[in-house]
Structures are given as C-alpha cells and as structure tokens.
Chains A and B, each alone.
Chain A
Amino acid sequence: MIPLSWYLILAAGLFSIGLFGVLARRNAVAILLGVELMLNAVNINLVAFWRYGDVAQMAGQVFAIIVFAVAAAEVAVGLALVISVYRRRNTVVAEELDLLKW
C-alpha cells in the first residue's frame, strides 16, 4: 500500500512548481498554466484525503468536482481577458500591462 505521505509530498511539489510559474513567468498565458498546476495539486490532496479517510464521506470527491468547475470558469475568463488585452495593447507580457500602476 502507498502511504498517504507520498501523495501529500507529490501534491506539495506540484503546488510549489506551479507557484514558481506564477511568480516568475512574464507571459500571462504561462502564469495561467502555473495556476492550473496549483489547482491540480490541491485536487490530488482532496482525493487522497477522501481515500485515506472515511470513503463513505464523499466531501473530498465533491470538492474536487467543484474545483474542476471553478478551474474551467477561471481559464475561460482568464484567457478571454488575455485575448482582449492582446487585441487592445498588442502585448501579453504581464509587466507591460501597467495601466493601473501609479
């Protein structure tokens, strides 16, 4: 049997990689790719806790499904924003989008 710790360490590693992507990448689409990795890491944790807890309690799987829905909504709106910004400013580099910067 695989101990719970392996799943948690895998999820922590994936989350940290995604965090690096969000903090370091310049391209807005690449930042969203990092966010996807972080959401997947959270989902691994949710499903692992469902399996290693009481399997009759479906909260872990239900929350994983809700995270799927939220991720789909986030990507749809995020990429629409990126395309809209690209059309107006002709750039998708996050640091060049300084319209709101004082």
Chain B
Amino acid sequence: MTAEQIIFLIVGAVTLIAGLMVVTVRNLVHAALWLVAALFGVAIVYTLLNAGFIAVVQVVVYIGAIAILFIFAVMLTRRQAADTGASVNKNWWAGALMAAATFAGLAFLLQGWSGFSKTASAIPLGFDAVNQLGDALTSPAGYVLPFEVASVLLLAALVGAVYLAFNKK
C-alpha cells in the first residue's frame, strides 16, 4: 500500500465521519463546524487528484464563505434552533433506508462498469492545469457561455438574497 493510498483512506474516513456528524448532531453550530471538517477533507481529496486550484477554491469559497454564512444563519435563527424537540422528523427511518438504498444502488451500478478500477495515467510533463482551466473558461470554443451565465446567476442570487432578507420595517 503506497503512502498516497494511506493518506486517501485516512482523509476519506475523516470526511465520511464528519459528514455523519453533520447530519446527526443536535447543536447546529456544531453541525456547521463539522461541515467545515468535511469540506477540508474534500479539499485534500482534490489535492490528491492533482487539482490544486479546485482545492484552493474549495477552501476559499466553501469554508471561507459558505460555512461562515451557515454559522451566521444558525446564530440569527437561534431561539428556535436551540435544542428543543427531536432533531430528526418521524420519518427519519425512511430517509435512512432511502440513503442506504441509494448507496447500495450506486455501488452496484459502479462495480458493474468496466472503467471502475481504472488507474490514472501520469500527468504529461509541462502540463499546466490552471493555465488550461483559464483558457477553457474564457475561450469561445470552450466554456465562456456557462461562465457568463454563472455570473448572471450570482448577480440574481445577490439581488434575491438582499431582497428576501431585507427588513421592510
């Protein structure tokens, strides 16, 4: 077993455990902090996949912005979010069954696929993924249209969030 595989197993286990804590702990501030741990694990997985830029974006956008936004929202709605009543609804067992069935179905489908245990070919010498990504995002032959649509979506979300959360009184 190589060092890379050992790192993957440790990080994968930590990520899955942190994910389980996110959906099971009662205190929502703790759930948001466990989400930060899970997101860090995913960032390390990106690094193992040689996608350094995506890993950095994961830390900056997900942990720096989204997780902090969650903590703010939990604190702003704290009185009701406080630990009264059950943290899961009465049909939680159906949800657990559904999640287990989804995992079993995905695993079954994947292990029947021919490319399942493929190993990665080495990155070609002098290949600059960040350069290529920038080219792909801005060239008309690449993905400039989805890129611009995403910016319009972000603007719409910005205006919508301000409108929804604005206190009219």
Contact = CB atoms under 8 A, between A and B. Distances in A.
Contacts of A29: 28, 70, 73-74, 77, 81
When A and B form their complex, which 6 residue pairs have the shortest distance between CB atoms, in order from nearest? Answer: A23-B95, A21-B23, A73-B157, A20-B99, A24-B92, A24-B95
A86 B42 contact: no
Given A16-B99, A33-B31, A83 B73 contact: yes
A102 B54 CA distance: 45
A2 interface: yes
Interface residues of B, number: 94
Contact of A25 (B4, B23, B70, B121): B23
Contacts of B167: 87
Given A40-B38, A68-B61, 14 more contacts: A4-B116, A5-B117, A19-B95, A23-B98, A24-B95, A25-B87, A29-B77, A36-B35, A56-B127, A62-B142, A76-B69, A77-B161, A79-B73, A92-B80
Contacts of B16: 10, 13-14, 17
Interface string A43-61: 1100110111001101101
Nearest to A93: B80
B106 to A, nearest CB: 4
B98 A26 contact: no
Size bracket of the A interface: 35 or more
Interface of A: 1-10, 12-27, 29-30, 32-34, 36-37, 40, 43-44, 47-48, 50-52, 55-56, 58-59, 61-62, 64-66, 68-77, 79-84, 86-87, 90-95
B19 A18 contact: yes
Given A47-B49, A64-B54, A73-B157, A24 B77 contact: no
B118 A2 contact: no
Given A10-B15, A10-B16, A23-B94, A69 B120 contact: no
A8 B116 contact: yes
A14 B69 CA distance: 21
Contact of B99 (A17, A26, A47): A17
Contacts of A20: 23, 95-96, 98-99
B61 A72 contact: yes
Nearest to A92: B77
